[in-house]
Amino acid sequence: MKLDTAGLRVLTREECLHLFTLTPVGRIVFTDRALPSVQPVNFLLNGEDIVIRTSTGSKLAAATRNAVVAFEADEIDVTTRTGWSVTAVGHARAVTDPAEIELLSALPLVRWLPGDQDHFIVVRAEQVSGRRIV
């Protein structure tokens, strides 16, 4: 078992990718007008891609276009001092190919916000890291 300097268990890539399948909400981290920005989103892991559904005109859609972003998910219980956190870093891209949009539309990715969410952002999980409190 590998521990980091803070005494947290370092997770393998496989463990991290598995944990991404256990929660429907994560946070996408990007730069918006030169400032760090973070937004919670509903997502689905599709292979090694983080798939996010948003509206075409959203700030998120504009700011993440061809940018390198981070995507984080966690489950932490401070009372029992247990939990984990996983982060993927990679290029984000807007999906524009109609065939790919049709494929992604068929995923069980719930539209949970009131407005149209007909725009897909895909983040390739190029670097993955994670920690578990032990």
Closest CA to 52 of 78, 73, 82, 81: 73
| Sign of the four-CA dihedral 3, 40, 57, 115 | positive
Residue with tokens 């401070």: 78
Answer yes or no whether residue 27 interacts with a second copy by CB under 8 A: yes
Q: Does the protein bind a second copy through residue 63 (CB under 8 A)? A: no
Size of the site for a second copy (CB under 8 A): 40
104, two tokens: 């992604």
Site membership for a second copy, residue 94 (CB under 8 A): no
Interface positions with a second copy (CB under 8 A): 5-8, 24-25, 27, 29-31, 35-40, 42, 54-55, 57-58, 68-70, 72, 74, 76, 78, 81, 85, 87, 89, 110, 112-115, 127, 133-134
